[in-house]
A and B are shown apart, each in its own frame.
Chain A
Amino acid sequence: MTANVATAAPLDRLRVLDLSGYFGALSTRLLAGVGADVIRIEPPGGHQSRRTAPFYHGVPHPERSLYWFQHNAGKRSITLNPATADGRALFLRLAETAAIVVESQEVGALDRAGAGFAALAARNPALVMVSISLYGQDGPRAADPGSDLIGMAAGGLMYLCGDRDRPPVRVTAEQANAQAGLHGAVAALIGLNIARSEGAAVHMDVSVQQTIVTAVANNRMLWPAKGAITHRTGGGRAGGPGRRLIYAAADGFIGFYRRPENWRDIQRWLDRAGIKLDFRVDAWQGKPAFGEGAPPEAQEAQLEAALERYFVSRPSAALHTEGQDFGLYVTQASSAKDLVESAQLAARDFWAAVPHPELGETLRYPGAPFRMSATPWLSGPRPPRIGEHNHAIYAGELGLSLADMRLLAAVGAI
């Protein structure tokens, strides 16, 4: 199912102004992927995430941040400071040309600059504004400072994550930022539908804390249901001892999730691997792996020890394939290297080649997050350089003269 490249992308020609920080950069990346004309509005000197590691060949430089690359491919860039009078005037003019504004500035900052929702809606009565902040735009916590770590903590996910004898942990790739991006992207397109049906501008106010609470729902609900608080269990599901998921392989780790329908297939796997126990686990078919009605503890412990010995003797990729071939829920705990070298991803032609002429190289980016049969996903072009499209937008669209642009640059407006 490859898309016909001649077909326009779903959001072709739909303009998005991108004032996101770390929250929301993924939202606008996804919007660019489905064809929106996303204009990154950077402060003069460049966006802060251009200084975020890692860097191309390890050399820190605002045009070499791989973090920036990942989240900004397919976008254009202009520099603009909406806190200056001239910057604000230009921003308001641009907002008239946009369908969506995505922002994650400090709560209230755009209002104070005269460029908040009310000001934008007055200029563009069909506009969707998506504001993403840690706690939302109002309420007792709204003004408190936030970050990925704080979102993971305040939303309850961090408490469920980690080894019991160590502090709770976050994910080293930033998941509060990621959830902000995902929810923000959905909110943008829902907002588009609301604005259209309503014939009015609409303000979508995303709380990152709430995005994280959504992800802990089954644990959360145990509190009002029965006053239970779930704790982290290391390599297991939160919520109880024995709900183990992670096992060591010869070269790494695998995840193995067992359900009552799996015992027969586990027996087949044991037989194939030549593992003999003095009981048969296919007799347990239909029994839960843990808790009430589970198989005898001593026998389960024997099985556990036999699996451990077998797993640690085999490569994780082989266990993934074997386990899945037996119909079991087994996966490799893949590193980036495993993924880049994955035969499945290669067979699906997942990776996208994005030329970076300034680096003299074509980089391999993650490709489409979903395949649409009639419309393309846009993996490129390469992320914009700082203010790369100032001339196209300010001179080409808004009609500024070169002299005006020089003047505005000198006063820090663009």
Chain B
Amino acid sequence: MSNPRLRPFTGLRVADFAWVIAGPLATQYLAVHGAEVIRIESRGRPDVLRAGEPFIGGEPGPNTTAYFANVNLGKRGVTLNLRDPRAADLAKRLVATCDIVTENFTPGTMAKLGLGYEALRAVRPDMIMISMGLAGQTGPERHHKGFGTVIQGSAGVTHLTGWPDRPPVGTGVAYTDFVASHMAAFALLSALEHRRRTGEGQYIDLSQQEASMYVLDAALLDYATNGHVQSRQGNRHPHAAPHGAFPCAGDDAWVAIAVYNDGQWQRLVTALGRPAWATGARFATLLGRKEHEDELEQLISAWTRFRSPAEVARVLRAVDVPCAPVADMRDVHADSQLMHRGHFLHIGHPVQGDFPYDALSYRVDGATPVPPRPAPLLGQDNQAIWQWLCGLSAEEYQQLDAEGVFR
């Protein structure tokens, strides 16, 4: 199961102060590929995800949440009460052993704790640190905070999601977490490359808003150069028709169909049985299909409505027309392709057992990267990290523990 081949970061250590999704998902890449990533949490202010559904293997609690476990695969975990006056010194002892430090608290928090970049660089000069504020570490909005659920608004994604005649809807998930996390991983990997070449560490200021503005296609250039404000278009696409989700037999069942060119259109018409409406001049050209798109969508819907999404997909895929069921969460789990890819990782968890977590999105030479261990239980590695790695004596460790420093 384990494949040491895919662990090039063995020997690299990360002090991972970042929480929720955007930070943890970034360092999870390093953990899966061999780095020793140490989550630093506190019992007084546990990671928000420690309270997130679903809870597996027991009552709701920090160790039963699969939400947390799914984005912290392969990591180790310690607890440290950062409000304790002795905590900063302990955190520095840990950072002195680390190559990377991450955090996404409200800007200024780390400095207030005595753990700003300059303070940490003093104990580990070649260290790479990333801060991931909502709007970055500078500027009039540097104190702003939020979650991916609303950062998708300030990054411009929400405005572009929904129907032209309705309010925007956003994506329904904490979407920018899945953008900012990847930008952060990419930035850290780039900084590691610079350090490999020069020996020099550095500080990275990532604004989740700015990073997430990279998923707007040309919307920003379109306004900056043409003065044109793009808006949400439902499922319509400027160069394609039909292009959207069509109703199917079943409860809230839909199929996505996308026709980009005349060849796909002709094959779709054939798959429909060449009905009279489809073979005439009205829809023969893209311009015609765009001009009569409302009517086109109704006619396609009349055909899909009495078929299951799977049946429509089978028929259209057979003639090479882009098509897929609009998968709900049950469909995702039953998806033969995802199973073939080994997307659902069953690596075992001491509390959650054999629950399916997400694999990374890629295979390496045909192999799915498997994390070296499941996500950490809250504070599970306290003794190993504080005593054996940071050099506290058994007496010191027990004393501090008894005084609540490791809460």
Contacts and interface: CB of A to CB of B under 8 A. Distances in A.
A239 B329 CA distance: 11
A339 B140 CA distance: 15
B183 A158 contact: no
Contact of B163 (A144, A166, A327, A372): A166
B284 interface: no
Contacts, number: 501
Contact of B210 (A218, A237, A345): A345
A54 interface: yes
Given A140-B337, A173-B157, A210-B341, 16 more contacts: A56-B225, A66-B226, A157-B171, A166-B234, A167-B247, A167-B254, A173-B215, A179-B178, A190-B189, A246-B169, A253-B167, A331-B146, A335-B159, A336-B219, A343-B140, A366-B214
Nearest to A359: B225
Interface in B351-400: 355-356, 358-366
Interface in A207-237: 207-211, 213-226, 228-237
A256 B150 contact: yes
Contact of A149 (B130, B156, B202, B258): B258
A246 B139 contact: no
Contact of B214 (A26, A141, A372): A26
Contact of B138 (A205, A234, A252, A347): A347
A136 interface: yes
B113 to A, nearest CB: 19
Contact of B245 (A158, A211, A365, A374): A158
Interface string A348-376: 10110000000001011111111111110
A178 interface: yes
A255 B150 contact: yes
Contact of B158 (A136, A156, A246, A370): A246
B407 interface: no
Contacts of B232: 169, 172
B154 interface: yes
A260 to B, nearest CB: 9
Contacts of A202: 364-365
B46 to A, nearest CB: 13
Interface of B: 5-6, 8-9, 29, 33, 52-56, 66-67, 70-71, 130, 135-141, 143-147, 149-163, 166-173, 175, 178-179, 182-187, 189-194, 197, 200-207, 209-211, 213-226, 228-235, 237-239, 243-247, 252, 254-256, 258, 260, 317, 320-333, 335-338, 340-341, 343, 355-356, 358-366
A334 B211 contact: no
B71 A217 contact: yes
Contact of B172 (A189, A232, A327): A232
A186 B140 contact: no
Contacts of B252: 231
Contacts of A278: none
A304 interface: no
Contact of A214 (B153, B218, B358): B358
B204 A371 contact: yes
Interface stretch (A191-199, A295-303, A401-409): A191-199
Interface string A56-98: 1110000001110110000000000000000000000000000
B362 to A, nearest CB: 4
Contact of B173 (A67, A162, A222, A238): A238
A142 B338 CA distance: 11
B54 A337 contact: no
Interface centre among A185, A334, A367 (most CB of B within 10 A): A334
A227 B360 CA distance: 24
Contact of B333 (A141, A171, A224): A224
Nearest to B182: A182
Nearest to B135: A344
A53 interface: yes
A152 B217 CA distance: 16
B319 to A, nearest CB: 10
A219 B162 contact: no
27 contacts: A1-B203, A67-B218, A136-B341, A154-B324, A154-B327, A159-B328, A160-B171, A161-B161, A162-B162, A166-B234, A169-B163, A171-B160, A186-B182, A194-B364, A216-B329, A217-B67, A225-B54, A235-B168, A333-B153, A334-B154, A335-B159, A364-B221, A364-B224, A368-B210, A369-B187, A369-B206, A370-B184
B245 A169 contact: yes
Contact of A169 (B155, B162, B321): B162
A248 interface: yes
B222 A66 contact: yes
The 5 A-B pairs at the shortest CB distance, nearest first, are namely A225-B54, A238-B172, A153-B256, A139-B340, A374-B202
A324 B157 contact: no
A255 B365 contact: no
Contacts of B254: 153, 159, 167-168
A148 to B, nearest CB: 8
Interface residues of A, number: 152
A84 B236 CA distance: 37
Contacts of A197: 8
B131 to A, nearest CB: 10
A126 interface: no
A245 interface: yes
A330 interface: yes
Nearest to A220: B329
B173 A157 contact: yes
Contact of B189 (A1, A170, A186, A233): A186
B162 A191 contact: no
A26 B183 CA distance: 11
A165 to B, nearest CB: 10
Contact of A324 (B143, B168, B206): B143
Contacts of B55: 225
Interface centre among B56, B182, B356 (most CB of A within 10 A): B182
A30 interface: yes
Interface in A120-144: 135-142, 144
Contacts of A370: 130, 183-184, 187, 204-207, 210-211
Contacts of A338: 156
A193 B360 CA distance: 16
B364 A204 contact: yes
A336 B145 contact: no
A332 interface: yes
A24 interface: no
Given A221-B70, A371-B205, A145 B322 contact: yes
Given A159-B326, A372-B187, A147 B211 contact: no
Nearest to B149: A257
B324 A156 contact: no
Nearest to A14: B193
B149 A182 contact: no
Contact of A348 (B130, B154, B162, B207): B207
A390 interface: no
A315 interface: no
B341 A185 contact: no
B363 A147 contact: no
Contacts of B137: 1
B331 A339 contact: no
Contact of B169 (A11, A156, A161, A189): A161
A350 B210 contact: yes
Contacts of A231: 252
